[in-house]
Amino acid sequence: MTIADVKKNTEQKMNKSIETLKADLAKVRTGRAHTGILDHIHVDYYGNPTQLTQVANVTLIDARTIGVQPWEKKMVAVVEKAIRESDLGLNPSTHGDMIRVPTPPLTEERRKEMVKLVKGEGEDAKIAVRNIRRDANEHLKKLLKDKAVSEDDERRAQDEVQKLTDKFVAEIDKIMAEKEKEILTV
């Protein structure tokens, strides 16, 4: 493994951390309805836990209502139950074969809880990035120990890994600030 491989690997892993953070924050509910909040719900489909989006069409009816239309009529009750029992605090109602999921407006207290949740997710992402930095630095030290690189090259590479880390931590802060603003906007 070369210094270039270590840096490339490190950047790819840090990018994955950012993508994971974005996916996790997409599940955090804001005042508006969006179909992404139902992505992690699984329903019992012929004995197999299946993602909701694989057994139904999920659409936005309006700014505060999500529409879920199962492809099979007998799945309506199962899907409705899965949404109701999820940890999202949603109360779906069925109209024929369409399930309407109204998203209640967030209270000030709930908004503050959501901001805390966002900060926790962001902190987890920063920890992941720092762990990736630590692993990269260990690889570089091993290359130095094995005399595959010079001390100067190893030091330069560590500085570059630190710059990468700083860049990704700044990006995490930016993503968190945007999400907080989105949550706190009434």
Lowest-pLDDT choice from 34-38, 55-59, 176-180: 34-38
Statement: residue 30 has pLDDT above 70: no
**What length does the chain have?**
186
Indicate the helix (H) or strand (E) that contains 111.
helix 108-145
Residue for token digits 């900060």? 119
Residues paired with 43 in a beta bridge:
50
Statement: residue 31 has pLDDT above 70: no
> Looking at per-residue confidence, does 28 or 22 come out higher?
22
Could you tell me the domains of the chain?
A: 3-27+107-184 (1.10.132.20), 35-102 (3.30.1360.40)
Of 79, 177, 70, nearest in space to 121 by CA:
177
Strand 56-62 with 65-70, pairing: antiparallel
pLDDT in the model for residue 41: 85
Q: What is the pLDDT confidence band of residue 6, given thresholds at 50, 70 and 90?
A: confident
* Residues above pLDDT 70, as percent of the chain: 97
Q: What is the mean pLDDT of residues 81-94?
A: 83
The pLDDT tens digits of the residues spanning 122-170 come to 999 999 999 999 999 999 999 889 888 888 888 999 999 999 999 999 9
Instruction: Indicate the pTM of the whole model.
Output: 0.68
Give the distance from CA 71 to its chain's centroid: 27
Q: What is the mean pLDDT of residues 98-115?
A: 82
